[in-house]
Amino acid sequence: MFGTHNAQSVASVIELSNGDHTGFEFQRLYGMGEALGDILVSERMAPVCIYAPVGSYEDLLPYLVRRMLENGANTSFVHKLREEKNDAHDLTLDMIAELKMREQHTHSQIPLPRYIYPDRINSAGLDLSAASVRGNFQTSLPKLYAASLIGGVDFRSQVPVRIPLPGAVFENAGEIWEATPAEIAPVFAASRDGFKEWSKISVKKRADILRRIADLLERNREKYIALLRSEAGRTIADAISELREAADFCRYYAVQGEKLFDENGMEMKGPTGESNILYLTPRGTFICISPWNFPLAIFMGQIVAALMGGNAVIAKPAEQTSVIAYEAVKLMNEAGIPKRTLNLMIGDGKIGSALVSHEDVAGVVFTGSTETAKNINRSLANKDGAIAPLIAETGGQNAMIVDSSALLEQVVDDVVLSAFGSAGQRCSALRVLYVQEEIADRLIELLEGAMAELKLGDPREYSTDIGPVIDANALRVLEEHQDYLKSFSKQIAVAPKPDNLNGYYFAPAAYEIDSIRRLKREVFGPVLHVIRYRLKDKNKIIDEINSTGYGLTFGLHSRLENQFDKTAAKIHAGNIYINRSVIGAVVGVQPFGGIGLSGTGPKAGGPYYLQRFAHEKTITINTTATGGNLSLIGLEDI
């Protein structure tokens, strides 16, 4: 069956049939393509079926609008057919044959994905929908076993893997440290030496090293993707996206840094007789504390930002993902980062607390829980030495509002991705879904069906949609929250969980609740809370969302364009997404970070981020002392 109103498409099918017109038919929409259909039937070239869409108003209206837009487009065959200037030859051109005749097959005004950004190379992706690409990629991934890991869990056996002492594994990986809180003095001594060396390196060289890091990441992507799957439980799609984000951070900050940290400084315009130049200079040693949920992208993003500013770094990764951090530091050393400039500190939260309290700390970059960020802030306030800035990105009680005009099929796709993608272990993940009461029942029905199709399983398998949560404690917190929800909420759906899974797996779940006030804090995992609302109460629920104090991501699904700006203006959130998912911010395109309880700013991957890693220095010279502004003498009176 061939559904078309296009004469060229019809002619192509007839030609390909080699005179045998049996076994197929053409289809046309009722009220369209009548003349073409009549010719086919009268000349007995093929049978023609006339179809009409049948269904409810909600289903039919979007369908008919799409058909009208397609057939009304200037490039549409139906539209061209009505124009007298187009003859039969123009209408039946074989576009494929025409393309083959061209020497140039790319549009001069449309760059390839690798070159969409004017000042940097885009990270390389993989088309996992192609079986050949998947097969080749799978065979290229190294085989990693529990015995070769330094941290994390083997998700098949659920056996924790211990971190060996530094001398056993870390001897050739730069300055790697494992110590008690009382033994951190040597790492700061090393960092001071590293800062002296690195801060003298030119901005151009620092930027080139960051670009080299990105190149090495992509050159060794199979290794890092395998580590992300084995140690962090990331699915293959999530692992690829994370590696791309890490590479994008390197290249984006390299471009930004070359502009901001120019050795010539920025001339500040003022009255004649003085020269005023503003410079951005390094601060010293930054402590970079990164989470396990993005153990490569956030870990490297924090570090390369601090390094681009000429600072030294002591990096303290999450203890659950020590291997990835270790391998990333080795790669950065290989790219040209001096070993004592970048120090890796392996350990638990006690080590992190000791690091941020040291008097030599020039600044802290942190991604993690709101509670930990507050503790770091207090430590920085109480420590001796200079006052140090805190750049924090924390969690959020992220909400989405769906009004009655929304396209529900698109909403469900975006909700499932936002709430359950990466096992809900993203700070940007959707936690609370507000649905206008007129469409709530239908949306919940679609959501229940979509969740039934999710596959929970081993992240090393391509077919897996949802992998494990990070560890036993994370699983316990989720199970306790689920028990709490069962005491008052209505269960919408729980995704199927295979019986043969070994590891820390939690099946994605959705529950209907009556108020966001039921949620005392963010629960980090694949649990969605659905709330019905009345249209007249929309401003009230926006106030409720804002009253949580969080402000990371927010989503709106609506086809009423006048609601876009109105809603966005009222919501207190760092990232607002309209008619799409609320996860997957792209470096340099959607700078990421929150407000209130969700972070301090500036936004990672944005144009104002690197300035926070620098001091400002202004040099003022009295030019009259050396003869004044000589250019004034040569001015001509126009």
Tell me phi and psi for residue 572, to 5 degrees. Answer: -95, 90
Number of H helices, E strands in the chain: 21, 21
Of the listed 427, 512, 522, 544, which one is catalytic? 427
Is 49 known to be catalytic? no
Give the C-alpha distances (Å, rounded to integers) separating 141 from 144, 223, 425, 470: 9, 7, 24, 22
Beta strands 553-557 and 575-578 are parallel
Helix axes 562-570, 538-547, angle to 10 degrees: 40
Torsion on CA atoms 204, 207, 212, 218, rounded to nearest 10: -150
CA–CA separation, 511 vs 493, rounded Å? 7
Of the listed 175, 393, 512, 522, which one is catalytic? 393
> Is the peptide bond prior to 602 cis by the omega test (within 30 degrees of 0)?
yes
Strand pairing partners for 346? Answer: 178
Does an H or E element contain 447, and which?
helix 437-452
CA–CA separation, 577 vs 599, rounded Å? 18
Question: E-strand spans in 331-467?
Answer: 342-346, 361-367, 390-393, 399-402, 432-436
User: What radius of gyration do the chain's Cα atoms show?
Assistant: 30
Cβ of 501: how many Cβ atoms within 10 Å? 16
Contact 556, 470 (CB under 8 A): no
Strand pairing partners for 3? Answer: 27
The closest of 280, 431, 374, 382 to 600, measured between CA atoms, is 374
Tell me phi and psi for residue 95, to 5 degrees. Answer: -65, -30
The closest of 422, 151, 111 to 297, measured between CA atoms, is 422
CA–CA separation, 149 vs 425, rounded Å? 22
The closest of 481, 477, 456 to 468, measured between CA atoms, is 456
For the chain, the residue count is 638
Cα within 13 Å of Cα(193), Cβ side: 10
Is 393 known to be catalytic? yes
Active-site residues: which are they?
A: 393, 427
